[in-house]
A and B are shown apart, each in its own frame.
Chain A
Amino acid sequence: MAQTISAAASPEKRLFISLITRDISLSDAILDIIDNSINAALEPIASRLKTADDYQNVLADPKLKAKVTIDVTIGSARIVVRDTAPGISADVAAKHVFKFGREDSGENKNDRLSVYGIGLKRAMFKCGNRITIKSDHAEGGFDLSLDVKRWQDIRVDPWTFDITTRPPVKTGTGTQIVITELYDDVVARISDGLFINHLRDLITRTYSFFIDRIVIIKVNDVVINSELFEIGDNYASHKFAYDGVSCNITAGIAVVKGDTFRDKNAGWYIFCNGRTVLFADKTSLTGWGAGLPIYQPKHRPFFGTVFFVSTDPEALPWTTTKSSINEESAVWQEASRHMTTVGRVITAFLDRRYSEDGTEIAPRELQSVAGTPVRMLTAAIAVQRAFRPPAAISSKTKTISYSAQMADIKRIANHLRRPSMSGSDVGRFTFQHYLKNEVGSDE
């Protein structure tokens, strides 16, 4: 007689750790820890952050000043991230923070940057073997001391971390994460002289909406400044809502930096709950070479933003590493079509802006078409509006210029029995010949 027996299907810790850390870079792992701190810093105002407009209104408020400092210290011996946010209570730590994956119970309704409930653990596991966390909270915090290798060898289900409680505090809340016994590849990456600057640049771009308004971020004692993006006020924008996600799309002409538009700033910027997921993207992911033309240097002034917001961060189209877009997400598919509609009026204008002889219109002249510079935040909360391209200057003639093989020009001239005919005359003759015999008269 057939029996029903239970087949083992629980994950191996070693494989699990390898799987969750393999596809994330060291810098993205550090951003995951910073996400946790910003998520905590946003908690007091989370109830005011429900739509894209809410975010932008709150974050554009000039009176809003950062109350939380996030201090990141990176060395070859240890990585320390310390914040002055409200901290994590022992109760929340025991029930939620160390669970692998978010619960479906709606318990975390104030989370904005914490998505899958995996980022913090993945970041810790990525960097080193010894992890200590100390968190002070108004209701009582906790301490954690973890030796990852030893924890890996404990074969008890369900998986747990041992934490000890800390007394409640009225002031001086916050969380400190210290990772030591760093892995060799992590040490090698940190030793690369470019790494810290790369990380600072990444933090600047990733948290440009939060820096100075919600948090102050320091990396190895250097305060990170936000990058102030501006766009001309002659821009196109559109808003829509889809499955609990609100989305504002804006495209226009960037404000010139110095004498030229910078290639590294051109393209689409995608934000999920205020966090930048893609910077200056010029790939087919954001429609270049699909709904929009293939990106070319003449599109350098293009500046587009897509601002997704949801009170359920899992509904947003970001990947688990928050460094790219889940292309299968239905809201992304819908947004990408709107991006085509909004963006192509700008690319079409940029495509047309070459004068007859192919000379680019000077960036400063282009700026006059773009209009008065406004902060990207202001643009992104504007009501739906249309880009107003300048009236086309109608010209009756156009210069055509191309190169041809000398031998071919000579052959045509000889064929016409006018061997001394110049190259430009051959060009004019062949053009007229084609017009008359192939195209026919228009009249």
Chain B
Amino acid sequence: MKASTAKHIAYNLRPSKQAERRILVDLLKCANEAGVTISDCRYVGMGGSLFYDFHLIHRFLGVKKMVSLERSPEMYRRSVFNCPYDFIKVKNTTVAEFIAADLDKTRTIYWLDYDDGIGPDITADIISLGTRLRPGGFAFVTVYAEPPGFLEKETPEGRLDYFVNNLGEFSAGLTKDNMENSEFSTTIHGILMSAFSSAFSARRDGRFRPLFQVQYKDSTTMITVGGCFCGQKPGSKVERRIKKDLPFLMSKTLPYKIKHLNLTEKERALFDIAVTRALSSSKQSNQLRELGFKDKDFEFYRELIRFLPRYYESII
């Protein structure tokens, strides 16, 4: 089993994860521009000890009411120690306990960024989000999209048994084929989508729009599904805005895959010019083609140009 990326790569140096975070923040910015005010929202996430998402959401969206959930008593102590802002409440609790006890009426952005494979607790957390999310709120869930370690060496039949025995109605219709490694991420995506759809199906005060479906990989494939719960009019405005600014999120039924291009700084400089030039052919693009880059790479870079991080070593 591959250990979690967070364990052996510094959490803030995972380029695909960082791109995913930035796209998510940009999606919230789009929603803000479409009339769903974000700075008034509360943010509930899992800050761990680095609070990277909390930094981004405060800095770029102005959110000043935040809750970080940490279930492990040991990690909780580190989390409190490393908490960057005074307005973040760090709570030593599970998502289930927090949601059941939460009486706050503020519109909320939940990002349940699990370092874990899908299981009954996670699908139940999504169902619980469906009972608490207020119109104008957002919910995102991130899980492993590869077989978790204890299923890695299992046969497809063994994996299917686990899903049937543990995921209840969310395992309905799954077959051995869905358990193959090549299909696993699609299966997890399907389960997350079903859970979100089921969680909000009976609500009459709005509709859940799955605006964000992103798959990425630093060392382990992860998937994030989420979106906005709101009425027809604001929902359509948000969708139109996202379609304009982040069209790659809207045009696919399958999750958008963040491609890891692994570029040098010199190559990035060429890509920056090539994909922002009106003409498809340029000195820079020709140079990149000579280096072996394909049309698809240009397309990916064009989509992700604003979101791919740059990391440098510095001596503090």
A344 interface residue, CB < 8 Å from B?
yes
The smallest beta-carbon distance between A433 and chain B, in angstroms, is 14
**Chain A residues within 8 Å of B100, by CB:** 236, 238, 341-342, 344-345, 386-387
Give the contacts of B88-128 with A (CB-CB under 8 A).
Answer: 94, 96-97, 99-101, 103, 120, 123-124, 127-128
- Docked Cα-Cα span, A389 to B199, in Å, equals 25
Among listed A107-115, A179-187, A208-216, A284-292, interface-contacting one? A284-292
Residues of B within 8 A of A345 (CB): 96-97, 100-101
| Chain B binder among A137-145, A262-270, A332-340 | A332-340
Distance in Å: Cβ of A34 to nearest Cβ of chain B: 32
User: Any chain A CB within 8 A of the CB of B283?
Assistant: no
Q: Is the CB of A243 within 8 A of B204?
A: yes
Flag if A337 contacts B199 (CB, 8 Å): yes
A window 428-443: CB within 8 A of B: 438-440, 442
- A392 pairs with B203, CB closer than 8 A: no
Q: How far apart sit A344 and B168, CA to CA, in the bound complex (Å)?
A: 15
B204 touches A348 (CB 8 A): no
Interface string of A294-332 (1 = CB under 8 A from B): 100000000000000000000000000000000000110
In contact, A440 and B97 (Cβ under 8 angstroms): no
| B73 in contact with A344 (CB, 8 Å) | no
Bound complex: CA A242 to CA B3 (Å): 46
Interface size for B (C-beta < 8 A) is 30
Which residues of chain A are near B265, meaning CB under 8 Å?
none
A348 to B201, CA, bound (A): 25
> Given contacts A243-B204, A293-B120, A344-B100, is CB(A394)–CB(B3) below 8 Å?
no
Query: In chain A, residues 7-50, which have Cβ atoms closer than 8 Å to a Cβ of chain B?
Result: none
CA of A345 to CA of B97 in the docked complex: distance in angstroms? 6
Interface SS of B by simple majority: helix
On whether the beta carbons of A341 and B168 are closer than 8 Å, the reply is no
- Is B169 among interface residues, defined by CB-CB distance under 8 A? yes
**8 A Cβ contacts from B105-157 to A:** 120, 123-124, 127-128, 130-132, 149
Nearest A residue (CB) for B94 = A348
**CB proximity of B185 to chain A, nearest CB, Å:** 22
A424 sits at the interface (CB 8 A): no
B1: interface (CB < 8 Å): yes
Q: Which residue of A lies closest to B123 (CB)?
A: A291
Name which residue of chain A comes closest to B170, CB basis. A290
B-side interface residues toward A, CB under 8 Å? 1, 3, 7-8, 73-74, 94, 96-97, 99-101, 103, 120, 123-124, 127-128, 130-132, 149, 165, 168-169, 199, 201-204
Q: Can you offer 11 A-B residue contacts whose CB atoms are under 8 A?
A: A242-B204, A291-B124, A331-B202, A334-B131, A334-B202, A337-B128, A340-B131, A341-B128, A341-B131, A386-B97, A439-B149
Instruction: Give me 16 other A-B pairs in contact (C-beta within 8 A), A337-B130, A386-B97, A438-B149 excluded.
Output: A238-B100, A243-B204, A284-B169, A290-B169, A294-B165, A294-B168, A334-B202, A337-B127, A341-B131, A341-B132, A344-B100, A344-B124, A345-B100, A439-B3, A440-B8, A442-B7
Measuring CB to CB, which residues of chain A are less than 8 angstroms from any residue of chain B?
236, 238, 242-243, 284, 289-294, 330-331, 333-334, 337-338, 340-342, 344-345, 348, 384, 386-387, 389, 392, 394, 438-440, 442
